[in-house]
């Protein structure tokens, strides 16, 4: 085994509480490389364990045996984790780069506190500097401080296991009013990144304590995201983790905040799907109705078409209405939580600024050394101030926009240059008056995290919480509501609300996973269980759940619809007809209920009962192809071939479904037009991607209908040969 495999196996043994096995595995490593970190502690653990074994072998009772064994497991885990970090700093690109940037920074507690607190006083003293030297002094101060923060960030996220003293120090530092918020936010992100990639109980405790006590929402929300993503399933050798989680979730406020965080995680993970939707459905219309064009000389306004203005005097007004409608759609997506900017800004992360990992986590501030050239190019800070104070972009997107503007400022039309910095510059999509509320702060931070894990050059070296990259001994996952650590906690009280959200967005796989982690007497829980079984292809198992809900609420249409749908999919047409009849009693004019009841009756061979109803529906909804589809099948089963053929021709000439070719083929076969029937069956196979075996299955499913026209099993085999 190589070093990575040895360490991974040792971690696995420890998580299984097999201390002896873990010692044997690590012995291989230390025997080959005795100078490795933690060798002395390893020998001490091995010696203590042997004493335990000898003591038990002599038959002595020991009331402390359990706690001592747990302590040895924890001590050996820390040794193994430190070995793993040490190995990564030499062999994994992201760690090696950060280890080099940290450059053996002095991370003693006194030194770190002194530097961070001195910066605050140094900034205050700048106002006392003579005006002619103040700018240069400010430049030097911020460059020196950014260099320190960069090194500290890289030192922290690649740090080994923390002690209790480390945890206490950083907890106090992150809650201190004498350290600027931006520095605290960067430190929280560094601790989070470290704990996410290598479990560390003391870093986890630090993040929890900061979340509980921080008054600064920016620090608090980063700490919340950090401790949630730092949870490791199966880490039973550190029972404090689950104890802390249980205590946290006993607070209704925390449970509610975790619920909104979980929903935000889902929206963040859908960033690329949302971008595809915007590019496909929204942006083409926005560009088409915009009066700007991009040419060789930059962005220019389109010249007005005089003839267009004469012939279509309301054209401008219509274009504006269409533009506003598309912008409103994007605003609605944004209000729901969608990351509507990812697609645009993902192309703007190639600036050298983003080569430094710390910059992905640094709050946007005007004195960042990298923004000095931007300010010089723009001439003032008005636009950047608007970007910082009024926009709802995430931090890294703000930097991207600033650098992009620096590059194109000379190519912009004069009227746009004049508008830069005004309140209206960012437009309705980007402007926000609520940038400081907890939900907005957390949303933009998650967007920063998502961009980092998707776009940073060496991001594949990390455990990616948004997508399991297979790195490390643990699995990253943002669906924390399903974690074993949260089962049986106060979080169970809000899981039904999350379940309803997942159902609304048809995330049925996630819903199925969630429902197994809790139970509820609420009828909605039973109904969701029913629909989940249907989505998993187990419609026959859905009945008891819908019946349970209907015992409590007999007229619950959601439950009745689910039961009827389950009956149709289970081919239990008697039950389907009965339930749709109940639904129609509650809502007599519901078209879908009527259509589905007709389908059930047709499957039961009761065609005469649906003819009149279907003709009425076809008259009321002449453009509804589904009504025509059911009516055509009714005519086919009722041996009204001419009417059926007419309806199928209508369906095939408009927007045919795959099944229309199959059923039209039956119709032509029954009429004796073999050539046309063969063509239609072949078209069905081509459209659906099926072969003659699937076609034979369809023939068998529709045996009763085919028999009405004297089509036998032998005829079916011969037809397959004709089609084949």
Q: List phi, psi (to 5°) of 17.
A: 65, 30
pTM for the whole thing? 0.85
Least confident of 101-115, 373-387, 444-458, 467-481: 467-481
Give the count of beta carbons closer than 10 Å to the beta carbon of residue 693.
8
**Residue 448: pLDDT above 70?**
yes
Q: How many residues does the chain have?
A: 724
| pLDDT confidence of residue 692 | 93
Mean pLDDT of 123-145: 90
C-alpha 391/C-alpha 387 separation (Å) is 5
User: Could you give the residue ranges of the DSSP H alpha helices within 353-394?
Assistant: 372-378, 382-389
Q: Rounded to the nearest 10 degrees, how much is the dihedral formed by the CA atoms of 515, 519, 522, 527? A: 40
pLDDT in tens, 465-477: 988 654 445 555 7
Please report the beta strands in 436-488, taking only residues with DSSP state E, as ranges in sequence order.
none
Both tokens of residue 635?
């005519």
Contact 262, 491 (CB under 8 A): no
**Residue 593: pLDDT above 50?**
yes
pLDDT in tens, 239-270: 999 999 999 999 999 999 999 999 999 998 87
Both tokens of residue 110?
């006194």
Q: What is the mean pLDDT of the chain?
A: 89
Beta bridge partners of 300: 293
C-alpha 543/C-alpha 28 separation (Å) is 57
Mean pLDDT of 330-341: 68
DSSP track, 575-624: HHHHHHHHHHHHSTT-HHHHHHHHHHHHHTT-GGGTHHHHHHHHHH-TT-
182: nearest Cα among 375, 378, 388, 453: 388
H or E segment to which residue 262 belongs? helix 252-269
Q: Which one-letter DSSP state was computed for residue 291?
A: S
Three-state DSSP class for 524?
A: helix
Contact 440, 432 (CB under 8 A): yes
pLDDT more than 70, % of the chain: 87
User: Which of 548 and 334 is assigned the larger pLDDT?
Assistant: 548
User: Could you give the residue ranges of the DSSP H alpha helices within 33-125?
Assistant: 39-57, 65-91, 93-102, 109-125
C-alpha 186/C-alpha 116 separation (Å) is 12
Contact 609, 586 (CB under 8 A): no
Least confident of 102-116, 209-223, 409-423: 409-423
Strand pairing of 292-295 and 298-301? Answer: antiparallel
188: nearest Cα among 442, 435, 394: 442
Mean pLDDT of 599-605: 91
User: Which of 684 and 295 is assigned the larger pLDDT?
Assistant: 684
3-state secondary structure 477-523: CCCHHHCHHHCCCCCHHHHHHHHHHHHHCCCHHHHHHHHCCCCCCCH
Contact 631, 647 (CB under 8 A): yes
Mean pLDDT of 422-449: 75
Give the list of residues 6+ apart from residue 680 with CB closer than 8 angstroms, or none: 661, 662, 664, 665, 668
Q: Which residue has the tokens 């929204």?
A: 282
**Residue 284: pLDDT above 80?**
no
Mean pLDDT of 26-35: 93
Q: Which one-letter DSSP state was computed for residue 431?
A: B
Mean pLDDT of 55-59: 89
| pLDDT confidence of residue 477 | 78
Backbone CA torsion sign across 213, 219, 221, 222? negative
Both tokens of residue 704?
């009763």
Contact 339, 274 (CB under 8 A): yes
Cβ-based burial of 163 (10 A; exposed 0-12, middle 13-18, buried ≥19) = exposed
Backbone CA torsion sign across 702, 707, 713, 715? negative
């Amino acid at each position: 085994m190589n070093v990575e495999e040895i360490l991974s196996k040792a971690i696995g043994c420890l998580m299984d509480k097999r201390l002896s096995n873990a010692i044997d595995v690590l012995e291989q490593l230390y025997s080959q490389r005795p100078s490795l970190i933690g060798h002395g502690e390893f020998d001490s653990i091995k010696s203590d364990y042997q004493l335990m074994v000898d003591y038990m072998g002599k038959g002595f009772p020991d009331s402390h045996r359990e706690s001592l064994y747990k302590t040895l497991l924890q001590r050996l885990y820390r040794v193994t984790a430190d070995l793993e970090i040490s190995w990564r700093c030499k062999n994994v690109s992201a760690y090696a780069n950060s280890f080099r940037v940290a450059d053996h920074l002095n991370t003693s507690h006194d030194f770190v506190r002194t530097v961070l607190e001195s910066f605050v006083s140094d900034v205050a003293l700048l106002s006392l500097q003579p005006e002619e030297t103040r700018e240069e002094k400010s430049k030097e101060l911020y460059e020196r401080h950014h260099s320190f923060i960069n090194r500290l960030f890289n030192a922290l996220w690649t740090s080994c296991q923390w002690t209790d003293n480390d945890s206490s120090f950083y907890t106090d530092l992150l809650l201190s009013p004498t350290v600027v918020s931006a520095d605290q936010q960067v430190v929280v992100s560094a601790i989070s990144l470290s704990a996410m990639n290598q479990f560390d109980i003391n870093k986890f405790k630090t993040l929890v304590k900061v979340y509980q006590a921080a008054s600064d929402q920016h620090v608090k929300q980063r700490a919340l995201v950090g401790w949630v993503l730092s949870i490791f399933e199966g880490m039973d050798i550190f029972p404090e983790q689950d104890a802390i989680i249980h205590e946290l979730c006993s607070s209704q406020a925390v449970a509610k905040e975790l619920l909104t965080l979980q929903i935000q995680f889902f929206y963040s993970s859908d960033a690329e799907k949302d971008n595809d939707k915007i590019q496909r459905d929204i942006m083409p219309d926005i560009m088409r109705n915009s009066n700007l064009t991009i040419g060789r000389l930059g962005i220019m306004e389109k010249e007005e078409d005089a003839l267009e203005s004469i012939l279509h005097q309301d054209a401008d007004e219509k274009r504006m209405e269409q533009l506003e409608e598309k912008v409103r759609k994007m605003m609605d997506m944004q209000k729901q939580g969608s990351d509507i900017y990812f697609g645009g800004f993902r192309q703007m992360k190639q600036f050298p600024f983003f080569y430094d990992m710390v910059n992905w986590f640094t709050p946007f501030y005007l004195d960042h050394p990298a923004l000095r050239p931007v300010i010089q190019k723009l001439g003032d800070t008005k636009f950047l101030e608007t970007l910082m104070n009024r926009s709802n972009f995430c931090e890294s997107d703000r930097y991207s926009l600033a650098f992009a503007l620096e590059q194109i400022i000379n190519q912009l039309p004069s009227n746009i240059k004049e508008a830069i910095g005004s309140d209206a510059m960012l437009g309705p999509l980007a402007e926000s008056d609520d940038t400081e509320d907890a939900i907005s702060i957390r949303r933009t931070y998650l967007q920063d995290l998502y961009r980092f894990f998707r776009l940073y050059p060496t991001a594949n070296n990390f455990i990616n919480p948004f997508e399991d990259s297979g790195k490390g001994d643990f699995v990253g996952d943002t669906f924390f509501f399903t974690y074993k650590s949260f089962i049986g906690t106060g979080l169970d009280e809000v899981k039904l609300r999350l379940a309803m959200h997942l159902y609304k967005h048809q995330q049925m796989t996630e819903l199925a996973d969630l429902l197994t982690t809790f139970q509820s007497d609420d009828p909605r829980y039973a109904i969701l269980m029913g629909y989940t079984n249907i989505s998993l292809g187990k419609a026959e198992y859905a009945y008891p759940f819908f019946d349970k809900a209907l015992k409590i609420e007999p007229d619950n249409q959601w439950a009745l619809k689910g039961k009827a749908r389950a009956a149709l999919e289970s081919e239990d047409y008697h039950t389907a007809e009965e339930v749709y009849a109940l639904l129609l009693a509650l809502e007599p004019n519901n078209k879908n209920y009527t259509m589905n009841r007709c389908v059930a009756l047709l499957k039961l061979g009761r065609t005469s009962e649906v003819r009149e109803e279907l003709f009425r529906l076809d008259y009321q909804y002449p453009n509804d192809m589904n009504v025509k589809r059911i009516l055509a099948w009714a005519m086919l089963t009722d041996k009204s071939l001419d009417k059926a053929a007419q309806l199928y021709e209508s369906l095939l000439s408009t927007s045919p479904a795959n099944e229309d070719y199959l059923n039209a083929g039956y119709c032509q076969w029954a009429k004796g037009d073999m050539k046309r029937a063969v063509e239609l069956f072949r078209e069905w196979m081509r459209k659906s991607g099926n072969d003659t075996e699937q076609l034979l299955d369809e023939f068998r499913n529709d045996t009763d209908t085919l028999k009405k026209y004297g089509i036998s099993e032998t005829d079916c085999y011969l037809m397959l040969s004709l089609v084949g």
